[in-house]
Amino acid sequence: MLTRLILAFAIFSSTVFAQSLRIVSTAPSITELLYALGLGDRIVGVDRFSHYPAEAAKKPQIGDYAAPNLEAIAQLKPSLVIIPTNPVQLRQRLEALHLRVLELDQEGIPALYKSFRVVGEATGSRDRAEKLTRDVQSQLAAIQAKSAKLKQARVMFVVARTPGSLDGLMVAGEASYLNEIIAIAGGVNVFKDARSAYPKVSLEEVLARNPDVIIDMGEMADTVGVSDAQKSKVVGLWSRMSSIGAVRTRRVHAVASDIFVVPGPRVVDAAQAFFTLLHPEAK
């Protein structure tokens, strides 16, 4: 009987604690995680790029996640502000305003799982966080098991470049979240030897590495409202580079989706999208 009472009290306390939270999210990945943990109604503010799920776009905005408006955050009277690892001492600046801050590293699959658990602990959602972690692990393992039976494709993922041209190319490198997802989906990142997460590369380097598949998100950082015509123009930019295998075989894909650049619960969607692009022969 005593054990049951203690358990019931713990559950009650956790529920009351969660209901009292007022959370500000400063990055889309954090917003998506909070919703996945059933904490959407506890969010009182988000960054301007948080638009998934649709309800997130209706929340008060606190500016850009790289440089949020501290005054706007303070006015929301949050009990918890969750931020991504930030090089501009954002945590210290928020703590100077006497705000409780949780800083998350989500760059990489192991770090992503850890972030699920850390947020679960901080918000009284431990069980949901553990379930989310197990579900994501299981689904990624299933995709990897499928891809292991297929021929690997050599891939380049473009995250940025000069609009309307093939200059200023920035691609996914070894330290990026994308590098791991590409591998799970059965691809080999042609720039995986680049130590930085998103190195700048020349067109000559691309020609030398000759990827089988090019996935280009370079002009679609703002993913909302991107048309098929815009995507076609991006594919057209590469058409003059016929010496690249991906161009010759028409395997240049323009994409515009947060799943590729927001490291959160939709990592499974990203892996499945990569799998589909890399293995069109798979049923």
Q: For 47, phi and psi rounded to 5 degrees?
A: -75, 165
Which of 267, 258, 273 lies closest to 50, judged by CA? Answer: 258
Q: What amino acid occupies position 252? A: V
Q: What is the pLDDT along the chain (283 residues), one digit of tens a residue?
A: 544 534 443 443 444 445 689 999 999 999 999 999 999 999 999 999 999 999 999 999 999 888 899 999 999 999 999 999 876 789 999 999 999 999 999 988 999 999 999 999 999 999 999 999 999 999 999 999 999 999 999 999 999 999 899 999 999 999 898 999 999 999 999 999 998 899 999 999 999 999 999 999 987 666 666 778 888 898 999 999 999 999 999 999 999 888 998 999 999 999 999 999 999 988 6
CA distances from 180 to 7, 39, 183, 198, 201 (A): 39, 28, 5, 13, 20
| β strands within the chain, DSSP E | 23-25, 43-45, 63-64, 67-68, 80-84, 101-104, 153-160, 169-171, 187-189, 200-201, 213-216, 252-254
What pLDDT score does 195 carry? 83
What pLDDT score does 18 carry? 54
What pLDDT score does 8 carry? 41
Distance CA 102, CA 134 (A): 23
DSSP string, 34-102: HHHTT-GGGEEEB-TT--SSGGGGGSPB-EETTEE-HHHHHHT--SEEEEE--TT-HHHHHHTTT--EE
